[in-house]
Structure 1
Amino acid sequence: MSRILLGLVVLGFNVAVQDVHAFDILNTRLVNDKAGERCSGRLEVRHGHHWGTVCERGWDVWDAAVVCRELDCGFVLDIPNGIRYGRAGGEVLWRDVKCSGDEFALDLCERSLNEHVCTHSQDAGVECTGKLPAPTLSIHSRFNAYSSGEAVQFKCTAPYWQSVIDFHLYKSGVDTPLVTQRADPKQMMVDLTLSDLEMFHQGSYSCLYRIHSKLRNAPSGDSPHSNYINITVVDIHTPQIWYNTSPEARPGWVMRGHSFNVTCSTQPQYPGGSFQLRLIRPNGTIRHSLPALAPSVTFTFSNAQSNNEGYYCCLYKVQTGERTFISRESQPLPISIREVDPVMSPVVISLLVSGLTFVVATCAILIAAKVYCKRVRKPTELERESRTCVDNTYIALTVK
């Protein structure tokens, strides 16, 4: 019993190995007179140990697409008559092949045995594109960073020239091409221009080319994607500017000797950015710079003097790659340095407030006393006040 089981196991193993090797056997080929050209020629299929041809009766582009896929030869370009590739030997084995176009091998398609219906003058031929190599993408500029509104010009080069092809520029994460350009036969390179850049366009780009078959309604074939190129889009806004100083100063004034701050602010920010503060004076221009570690940066002046007077302007500056991007200057901020008025100094103001408070309080007390005195009881109209002195005491007598 054990020997029988062992034999079955060995037999099953042998069958499995034979099945696996069966997939490695070439059952379809394209034959022509050109050495090394395996992706176009007269179609032949294996029958046992012999090769035979396929009749072009019922043969269409979907059948040919399966052959190109099985041979790893790209996509269908044409289905010429097999005589173009020389006279065949052997038999015509199949006719009326019917493929859906999705099969990965021709012997999975429906077909009929020829049975001497077709002759070699009706042999089917297939012309495939061959395995399409990936194109190469480059840019005309030596920079990879661009400002909003600019254009970037890519160059896509394809090592394929046998038919009309379309070039497509893709952005990573976007399914549809952003730019498409048709090339004529034997034109191996096209320019793909991305105009009026916005922040949306920042990212990684590649190109591919699409082969158009010589046959009507034939499926197109896409090459692999090219190498990827990253571009950066810099969108710099005009910064805002304002200042702060002591509260007693009027708008646009800074008291001499007092401190004041000028703040520049903008969005968005970029690594390595900086704010430039420019002071415009009649006798020249002074510039200050601080790194943009936050959306807003404050320039502090601790002791205001005449040389701090003038018009202040902000701008934002950032260097990305080998390019430097500079924003427009902000609206000018006028600042005038004024002398401190001794009459209206804080001490004088404090004394005036104290004196005014004392006067108001005194007036309030006098008014309250006067009102109180008026409230003392008055005699009636029938009373006449008469005073007499009795034991140094005044009394009031009522006269009837």
Structure 2
Amino acid sequence: MNLVSISNSDYGRVRLVGGSAPDEGRVEIFYNNEWVTICDDYWQREEAEVICRQLGYIDVDEFYDRAHFGEGYGPILGQMSCDGNEAYWQQCLYIGWGTTGCSHSEDVGVRCLSETSLPNGGIAGVVIFVAFVAVFIGVVFYIHANHPRRTEEELVIGNHTLL
């Protein structure tokens, strides 16, 4: 087996296709002016983490094999192997394009985590009730009445506008 490592940033954009939300789908990579898929041989959490990170998500929620989000078409990237710390898939090892013995029934997919990340590992979220907006940071809740005199600043945490 002859593995190569490529770090050229001129190619390799990533997208997710076929999911029910923007943070999930079949993984496709733009290469040689076309979108191609990744074979599920060696596909594990580490590879999915790199894909989600490259797309700007904070982590991977689930990773899928066997064309969970449907089959793609065109060339297939073979046997991608990552440590999980890489910033881009191009920094991982892989066999090559179209020479893998894989079919599109083995296309990989991911569901990435898309929560907003806060300092110290906190998570920000908003829960909207009929008359109240509850903003939670970690385990501390802040309740704002849904009142016409509410100022916009009350619903901003850091650089994140919550409503």
Question: Number of aligned pairs?
Answer: 124
Q: Does residue 6 of structure 2 align to residue 27 of structure 1?
A: no
Q: Over residues 7-56 of structure 1, what are the superposed CA-to-partner deviations in whole Å (9 max), with x where a residue is unaligned?
A: xxxxxxxxxxxxxxx8576622211154xx33211111122111111111
Q: Is the 8 A contact 1:72 1:131 kept in 2?
A: no
* Relative contact order higher in (CA < 8 Å, ≥ 6 apart): 2
| Among candidates 3, 11, 27, match of residue 43 of structure 1 | 27
Paired residues for 1:1-400 under 5 Å: 23=9, 27-32=13-18, 34=20, 37-81=21-65, 83-92=67-76, 94-113=77-96, 114-132=98-116, 134-135=123-124, 157=136, 167=138
Aligned partners of 2:125 and 2:29: how far apart in 1?
37
Q: Is the contact between residue 46 and residue 84 of structure 2 (CA under 8 Å) also seen in structure 1?
A: yes
TM (norm. structure 2) is: 0.63
Structure 1 unaligned runs (5+)?
1-21, 138-154, 159-166, 170-188, 190-225, 228-400
Gaps spanning 5+ residues in structure 2: where? 1-7, 118-122, 127-133, 142-156, 159-163
What is the DSSP-based 3-state SS (H/G/I as helix, E as strand, rest coil) of the residue aligned with 1:99?
Answer: coil
CA distance in 2, matches of 1:59, 1:81: 7
AA of the residue aligned to 1:68: C
Say which SS state the counterpart of residue 52 (structure 2) adopts.
Answer: helix
Moved over 4 A (4+): 22-26
Task: Find the aligned partners of 1:46 and 1:61 in 2 and give their Cα distance.
Answer: 22
CA distance in 2, matches of 1:42, 1:24: 22
Report the Cα distance in structure 2 between the residues aligned to 1:107 and 1:128, rounded to whole angstroms.
19
Following superposition, the deviation at residue 85 of structure 1 comes to: 1.6
Residue by residue, what CA displacement relative to the aligned partner does 1:340-375 show, whole Å, maximum 9, x if unpaired?
Answer: xxxxxxxxxxxxxxxxxxxxxxxxxxxxxxxxxxxx
Query: Per the alignment, do residues 70 and 82 of structure 1 end up closer, same or farther by CA in structure 2, a change over 3 Å counting?
Result: farther
Give the 3-state SS of the residue equivalent to 1:44 in structure 2: strand
Cα displacement (A) at 1:81: 2.5
Q: Contact 1:29 / 1:38 at 8 angstroms: preserved in 2?
A: no
- In 2 relative to 1, CA 56–24 (structure 1 residues): closer, same or farther, beyond 3 Å? same
**Contact 2:25/2:109 (8 A) holds in 1:** yes
Aligned-pair identity (%): 24
Query: Deviation string for 1:308-357 (max 9, x for gaps)?
Result: xxxxxxxxxxxxxxxxxxxxxxxxxxxxxxxxxxxxxxxxxxxxxxxxxx
SS at match of 1:87: coil
TM (normalized to structure 1)?
0.28
| Inter-CA distance 50–135: structure 2 relative to 1 (3 Å threshold) | same
Query: Which residue type is aligned with residue 85 of structure 2?
Result: D
User: Quick one: distance in 2 between partners of 1:85 and 1:55?
Assistant: 13
Q: Residue 128 of structure 1 aligns to which amino acid in structure 2?
A: C
Q: Tell me, yes or no, if the aligned pair for 1:43 and 1:82 is still in contact at 8 Å.
A: no
Decide whether the 8 Å contact of 1:76 with 1:128 is kept in 2.
yes
Q: How far 1:82 moved relative to its partner?
A: 5.4
Deviations 1:208-262 (A, max 9, x none): xxxxxxxxxxxxxxxxxx66xxxxxxxxxxxxxxxxxxxxxxxxxxxxxxxxxxx
* Structure with max Cα Rg: 1
What is the Cα deviation at residue 168 of structure 1?
Answer: 5.0
> Shift in Å at residue 136 of structure 1?
5.9
Q: Please, what is the CA RMSD of the aligned residues?
A: 3.0
